[in-house]
A and B are shown apart, each in its own frame.
Chain A
């Protein structure tokens, strides 16, 4: 037959042969691999700035592999805010033994969508600011930070001192913010406003802020990049950001602005999924992260405050802690319910849609 027939038979037999050979080759490779494999592998799912070369991940991994006779493999997510969405999509097929990077607004969702192993670290000698964050049984905070607005020194004619000052015409289209639907600092900003002003007043303020925002980036790093490229005059970021520029880039030209409203604290949590395969190794890695050595790496690489007491003693972080945090009041720790989070995100999205239309 001219159309198909023997030709298609050729084609099908050819495909079957190729797949058969590949199948045998994979089998052969697997059996060799098994006979040579001497160590286990633990998979850690974390956000990209944690696993990147400049983040704390590689150093912690090297330290861990020295003593565990195992391999640690990072599975990289995007922004911390996207971790849960990805976990929801892939679930067990992701094969994560440990998940790093939730903040307090993710916890209820994480508990609702997945099963987690119980962790008990109540005996840790931790900072008083962190104590309330240890109240749950499944997630442990490993670092924390305070969020606020960062500016370049001497650039602003008017320095905002309270939230309402951000609505001044000088900042129109000049503030780099993050989308609360995909970025955890974005969510922190939304809750900061709501907590400071109440829900209705806060949302009215958020609506006015749409005119002030240069953009709502899907991740913190994108918004900070805009700020660094001088496309924005202000960025919502961590108060430790100026310290990063000072210590790493030797650039003291950034400053964290003081605000009258109590500032938002972000706690970063880790958790071990119930379906973990290397649960003990995962717990060992958690122990390393919560040891003074691990906490020092987290502080120096992640530019967040350690949860353990005395780790930041004698470092610029202690000075910053004293200068910026002890003088100010901070928002109290709470884990909002899923309903509250969903409602606020929905209202934010509706306002944003209305703004775009």
Chain B
């Protein structure tokens, strides 16, 4: 696997720059996830507070607002756990370049949701992240400086 890791630079060298972006984003999400894990995010209804503060101001469709209000707010603990877990999974995936494509597509979906439940100050950040995740999924950023190259070499397929 180590050989494949080094070999990836040779065969997918055009992705080196974007791989650094991927690793940086992985580091960013790891920090976020760790802060959520160490702080009160999992134990206090911070996410429910955030949703009820910003959802009425968002341009989200009515059915989405109804769904979020009915499902997310009462079950904030589950939602906080899902978010923190996803941030850890995304962080490790981006840092090690493992299952980057499917994770990046999930991240696009994640950012779309966060866009509706975050304040104006964070919306631009999530829009930027959304675009980056989409590009990472598109180019298969895990194939360079990542484990995905090892699996791609052996199994092929569009998900690596």
Contact = CB atoms under 8 A, between A and B. Distances in A.
B73 A89 contact: yes
Nearest to B49: A75
Most buried by B among A6, A90, A94: A90
A8 B84 contact: no
B89 interface: yes
B48 A26 contact: no
A22 B159 contact: no
A7 interface: yes
Contacts of B123: none
A86 interface: yes
A5 B76 contact: no
What secondary structure prevails in chain B residues at the interface with A?
helix
Contacts of A4: 157, 159
Contact of B157 (A2, A90, A95): A2
Contacts of A78: 53
A47 to B, nearest CB: 12
Given A18-B92, A22-B84, A10 B103 contact: no
A25 B98 CA distance: 22
Contacts of A25: 37
B88 A86 contact: no
Contact of A18 (B89, B102, B156): B89
B13 interface: no
Interface in A67-86: 73, 75-76, 78, 85-86
A41 to B, nearest CB: 10
Given A2-B157, A14-B89, A93-B45, A22 B81 contact: yes
Contacts of A11: 99, 102-103, 159
A91 B93 CA distance: 37
Interface residues of B, number: 31
A15 interface: yes
A14 B99 contact: yes
Given A7-B157, A10-B99, A93 B37 contact: no
A14 B85 CA distance: 11
B155 interface: yes
B56 to A, nearest CB: 8
A6 B155 contact: yes
Contacts of B88: 18, 21-22
B85 A7 contact: no
A17 B86 CA distance: 11
Contacts of B20: none
Contacts of A85: 56
Contacts of A21: 88
Interface string B6-32: 000000000000000000000000000
Nearest to B38: A29
Contacts of A90: 45, 48-49, 52, 73
Interface in B35-61: 37, 42, 44-45, 48-49, 52-53, 56
B102 A8 contact: yes
B3 interface: no
B151 interface: yes
A36 interface: no
Contact of A5 (B44, B73, B157): B157
A6 B85 CA distance: 22
Interface string B120-159: 0000000000000000000000000000000100011111
Interface string A114-157: 00000000000000000000000000000000000000000000
A95 B45 contact: yes
B48 A94 contact: yes
B116 to A, nearest CB: 15
Interface in B63-89: 69, 73-74, 76, 81, 84-85, 88-89
Given A18-B85, A22-B37, A86-B53, A3 B73 contact: no
Given A2-B157, A94-B45, A7 B151 contact: yes
B155 A7 contact: yes
Given A14-B98, A90-B73, 14 more contacts: A2-B158, A8-B102, A11-B102, A19-B85, A22-B85, A23-B81, A26-B37, A29-B37, A76-B49, A78-B53, A85-B56, A86-B49, A95-B44, A95-B45
Pairs of residues from A and B, 3 with the lowest C-beta to C-beta distance, nearest first: A7-B159, A18-B89, A89-B52
19 contacts: A6-B157, A7-B99, A7-B151, A7-B159, A10-B99, A10-B151, A11-B99, A14-B99, A15-B89, A22-B81, A23-B81, A25-B37, A75-B49, A76-B49, A86-B49, A89-B52, A91-B74, A93-B76, A95-B44
Interface of B: 37, 42, 44-45, 48-49, 52-53, 56, 69, 73-74, 76, 81, 84-85, 88-89, 92-93, 98-99, 102-103, 151, 155-160
